Structure 1
Amino acid sequence: MVVFTCAGCGAVMTARVARVALPDHAGQKYGHGLLPSLLEPGTYVVDPGDGRPWQPSEPEPETRGVRLLTYHLSRPPNRIGIAPGDVRGTVFIPERLGGCCCGWDGRYGPNLACAECGCPVATRVDDCGFWQVVWLEPEAVRPVAVDGPVQRVTDWAELPTTPPVDPRGFWSPLWEAAVAVALAHLLAASGGRRVSVPEGPVAEAFRRAIDGLLPQGPPERHLVLAGPGLSTPITDIALAPRHPQTGRVWPCDAGAVVPLAAGVWTYMAFHDDRRLVPAASGMPAVVRRDDPPPLLPYSPFRPDGRVFLSTLERLAAVRQPWLRRIRDRVKDHPSMDPFA
């Protein structure tokens, strides 16, 4: 485990934390409500950024009492993300507290300073539509190894499960981000040829996107689920889980491997979404039940278009003309199906 200290004065900036893999939804902006923390307490991630030039905005001017809003969706590289509750020894920098709808979105750069020496060290993000997180600036902090409990790495057989629908009946934003990342890798692995997918949750998540982005016609490549607990023969493209702590992808002998967030993969691999048909001698309708049917979303599944583009632009395969044409079409028409 490590703590992060101020590079200027050595003051401790965080609780003890252990590194985990960067979640797919780290750069996601979702809806207009308040979202929970991006990370579990006691963990940290390193974000490589999205590869595009980035600089913080200048403070927003006011014209006739109206504040003009601007947004920067690119992310600076190698920032260290921690849960807000794991921050220690910092104070706010008032002139950099931008956003201010329900919180701060960090558009002006670091908004937290070291309480000891005053050096800007981190950016807190907690505005509506953003996953709450504190990003430590890599040049402003230093990791220091400390004694603590050894992080237990979850066994492949104990992978978590992420339900596709949230308690309100909406598609989970975690699924929208995870499938968007996997979709970018799937397109790169397809070589521009039609791909078949297994029926069930995999088809519900990927088929509309494949129909909209790849050429029509009979499938030339085939996607199958591969991972712990499955014995499906693999010859072409495998949809395999990515470990939530280590970031490693389940090893298999497929021609190409498409990584998918472990919680989403586990649900797709082992959850049966078929609806049960009431039996003729079933329980009378007037009897109180303790097994209500699961919530169903009100619309077809749509991957997150911004997460898809951000992932696709970081893949080397995007240099191929056919994949660049898909990238340009999605970027020029972000409301196109399946991202509408």
Structure 2
Amino acid sequence: MTVFVCAGCDAVLSSQLAQVALPVHAHQKWGHRLLPVLMEPGTYAVDSEPSGPPWRPWGEISEDDAAARGVFAPASLSFGPPGAIVIAPGDARGTVLIPDRCGGYCCGLDGRDGLNLACAQCGQPVATRIDDCSLWQAVWFVPNAVRALRDNQPTGGITGWEWQKWQAVSPVAPDGSWNPQWAAAVGAGLAHLLAASEGIPVALPNGPITDTFDHALNALLPTAAPAKTVALAGPGLPARESTRRILLVPQHPQTGERWLASTTAKTVPMPAAAWKQLAFPGEALLLPVTGGLPDGVQRDDPLPQHPWEPLRPDWGVFLHTLARIPAVREPWLRRIYDQVKEHPYARPF
């Protein structure tokens, strides 16, 4: 377990936390409503990329320098420090708001004025609280403002590929709109799936995969006979080996490691929660049930949720992911990247 303390005075700034993979929707902007808390209580994640000012436009960066940072298509890049640490606001300790840095778009704080949380003991700015509409609620520690104190206590989390313990993400929100977490996972998965297709149409299996990706692939790939098939692979599923398959595989929820399902087939990583929803869409019963209901007893199960509009993958997450896949330098895929960047709300987004 890990506790973060102020680098200036050693004051405790967080509760005990266990590290998990950075959520794919960590920097997502979605709609104009308040979003939930980004991180589960008792967890933290680290963003390996630089974040915060100064920012430099693509025209001021050489392609070689950008590629060395893992970015292969035009994007504005941060030249701030890498390694920002994100936690749930409820896990922050010993911090106070900086009154003159509390700007936001309309409903809360969005970090536009820079670090807005200071150490309550020494006054050093240490983090940014985010809770404005369209943004996931979080506290982001600046890496050089805090230190991590680790102990040998077990985290109690998932250490292996124990997919039964993973929490599947519901595609549809309670109000009938698409879950932004699902839209982000699909946007990232679509970027990897396009790259794996090599610009050639692919055959999708009937079921959740087709419902999720078919509309987008039809809009972005040419019409022709499919050359490869897409299938799910991962823990709890039969092994699949074929050079003509593209496999949708899970990323470990704690480490972010991709399931190494095959050494020959191309793999498309999906967040564990989204992968489980695709692989095992039915809800598991908590207790075994035998027989039927007694006479005169009516079921009161809620009806399945159905969205009130077609699925739109998150275009921002799609572009962010695609820009970090080397295949985007291929002319056909670069055209898709540029097209979506210029018209982000066109079909299928």
Q: Matches of 2:112 and 2:252 in 1, distance apart?
A: 31
Q: Which residue number corresponds to residue 201 of structure 1?
A: 208
Q: Which residue number corresponds to residue 55 of structure 1?
A: 54
Partner SS state of residue 24, structure 1 = coil
Partner SS state of residue 176, structure 1 = helix
The Cα shift of 1:316 comes to 1.8
Deviations 1:119-153 (A, max 9, x none): 11100000111111000001111111135343332
1:16 aligns with 2:16: yes
Assess if the C-alpha contact under 8 Å between 2:239 and 2:261 holds in 1.
Answer: no
Listed as ranges, the gaps of 5+ residues in structure 1 are 57-71, 274-282
Q: Which residue number corresponds to residue 131 of structure 1?
A: 136
Equivalent of 1:112, from 102, 114, 117? Answer: 117
TM-score by length of 2: 0.83
Q: 1:299-310, aligned counterparts within 5 Å?
A: 299-310=309-320
Distance 1:292 1:54, change over 3 A: same
- Paired AA for residue 10 in structure 1: D
Q: Which residue number corresponds to residue 63 of structure 1?
A: none
Q: Which residue number corresponds to residue 275 of structure 2?
A: 265
Deviations 1:61-119 (A, max 9, x none): xxxxxxxxxxx997653210011011111111111111052110112221111112211
The Cα shift of 1:291 comes to 2.9
Q: Which residue number corresponds to residue 328 of structure 1?
A: 338
The Cα shift of 1:251 comes to 1.8
1:83 aligns with 2:88: yes
- Paired AA for residue 188 in structure 2: V
Distance 1:20 1:268, change over 3 A: same
1:225 aligns with 2:258: no
Deviations 1:211-234 (A, max 9, x none): 111121111122111112222634
Q: Which residue number corresponds to residue 179 of structure 2?
A: 172
1:316 aligns with 2:326: yes
Deviations 1:281-328 (A, max 9, x none): xx9xx9954134212111111110111011111222222222111100
1:37 aligns with 2:37: yes
Distance 1:323 1:201, change over 3 A: same
Assess if the C-alpha contact under 8 Å between 1:224 and 1:234 holds in 2.
Answer: no
Q: Matches of 2:5 and 2:268 in 1, distance apart?
A: 37
Partner SS state of residue 140, structure 2 = strand
Aligned length in residues: 312
1:188 aligns with 2:195: yes
The Cα shift of 1:270 comes to 2.0
Deviations 1:240-280 (A, max 9, x none): 1112112122221142110111122112112269xxxxxxx
Q: Matches of 1:10 and 1:287 in 2, distance apart?
A: 61
Q: Matches of 1:178 and 1:250 in 2, distance apart?
A: 16
Assess if the C-alpha contact under 8 Å between 1:16 and 1:146 holds in 2.
Answer: no
Listed as ranges, the gaps of 5+ residues in structure 2 are 56-74, 284-292
